[in-house]
Amino acid sequence: GGVTKTTSLGLEFVKHEPTKQQLMNANKGEDFVVNIFNLFNDDVREMHHALEISEAAVNDLNKNFRANISQIYHMELAEFGQELWDKVFGVGTCDSAESFYEKLKLDLENYHNSQGRHLFEHALVDKVIDTHQLPLPEAFLKRWMQREFPNDYNSETIDGKFENEKVGLRWQLIKEKTQKDHDLKVEQIGRAHV
């Protein structure tokens, strides 16, 4: 009934030594309890993004999470050359160190532009929602969600799940009101092909 999320985490980023040791001593497939705040170094923003919950909801979390290691990766430095270039960008895409670095530069620029837009959108949504704390009929909405979606919401899970739903509901109300007040229309003018 709580927050469930699959994520990857590098041990080098865990600063709390007892938690790092706990992870290193855990076996693949083994369930164990970990302090989520120690795991993410008390970084509320990182937990907000990793768990996909609001920053306000992070502060209300129970610190102890049940964890399970599904995969363990060991990284080693690869030899710099054609075999690496082919693995990274596909066979024959790069034929020299210069072409590899140029392709890497382009990929990193695209990644950082995408991540920058993503972070901006999240920051914007968070700021707008924090600024406009619209009151919601919580008791009614909880009853309605349990009646309409009984497989997703029940008496044990509704309180925890509703915290996340409130953010989405508020954002939807703000968007709809803004569109109505400013007579905004969103129309599809073309279809992107991937």
- Strand 31-35 versus strand 64-68 pairing type: antiparallel
Report pLDDT for 22: 92
Against a cut of 0.85, is the pTM above it?
A: no
Report pLDDT for 52: 82
Q: Which residue has the tokens 């990766």?
A: 73
Report pLDDT for 20: 92
For the chain, which ranges sit under pLDDT 70? 1, 190-194
In 3D, which of 87, 20, 7 has the Cα closest to residue 48? 7
Share of the chain above pLDDT 70, in %: 97
Residues 6 and 20: their CA atoms lie apart, in Å, by 18
Residues 122 and 60: their CA atoms lie apart, in Å, by 20
Cα-based distances in Å from 11 to 56, 65, 80, 177, 189: 26, 17, 25, 45, 46
Give SS3 for 71.
coil
Residues 25 and 69: their CA atoms lie apart, in Å, by 11
Report pLDDT for 164: 80
Report pLDDT for 194: 46
What tens digit of pLDDT does each residue of 112-167 get?
A: 999 999 999 889 988 998 898 888 999 999 999 999 988 888 888 888 888 888 88
